[in-house]
Amino acid sequence: MKTKLLFRFILPVLVLLCGLFGCHAPERSAEPYGVRAISHFFFTESGGLDFDDRTSYALDYADGFYTAVIKPSGVKNEKARTVRVDADFADRLAAILEEFGVGAWDGFRETDDDVMDGIGFTLDVTFTDGRKIDAMGYMMWPAGYDDAVEAFHALFGEAYLKRR
């Protein structure tokens, strides 16, 4: 009975309202993260006993500018560089996140406790709309990790070398 009521009365009313006022799904951006949508990005990967082998990349947006702190693997901590980067850099980083499905990493928390001296990573991303990606692992990695991290290295490495 209730189903008949739905189809005989409510559904035609909805169709009429849609005809009068227009009904369509909200437009989706081709880039779910959006252009210049990253307000904070932090990635670190470390392994072994040598502190200099740690990689650390950070990007923050404040006062209309992006600032990156870049410490590649093998570089002493005091040789890390703080550089101002342009919005294109942030767009390219957002494209990497999208291309390799990094959004799906949110909540990843896996470790292999049997390994005593392995490799670990931490990723923390905040978008201007409040969305976040928070992931960490030790000798365990989410899908697409290697390709995404290779792209992070290329992007931040290029900025590190340009600012000499």
Predicted pLDDT at 162: 84
Positive or negative, the CA dihedral 156, 158, 163, 164 is: positive
Scanning the chain, the segments in alpha helix (DSSP H) are: 2-5, 11-21, 87-99, 145-162
Nearest to 45 by CA among 127, 153, 144, 125: 153
The reported pTM is 0.75
Predicted pLDDT at 76: 87
Predicted pLDDT at 51: 65
Cα–Cα dist 30/98, whole Å = 10
Instruction: Supply 61's token pair.
Output: 């947006």
Average confidence (pLDDT) per 10 residues, the chain, 164 residues: 44 44 39 65 84 88 93 89 94 96 97 88 95 96 97 96 72
Sketch the domain layout of the chain as residue ranges. Answer: 38-162
Predicted pLDDT at 48: 65
Residue 23 CB burial class (10 angstroms; 0-12, 13-18, ≥19): exposed
Neighbours of 161 (CB within 10 A): 11
Cα–Cα dist 145/92, whole Å = 17
Judge contact between 104 and 125, C-beta under 8 A. no
The set of residues, in sequence order, having a beta carbon less than 8 Å from that of 115 and lying 6+ positions away, is: 138, 139
Q: Which CATH class is domain 38-162?
A: alpha beta
Predicted pLDDT at 13: 46
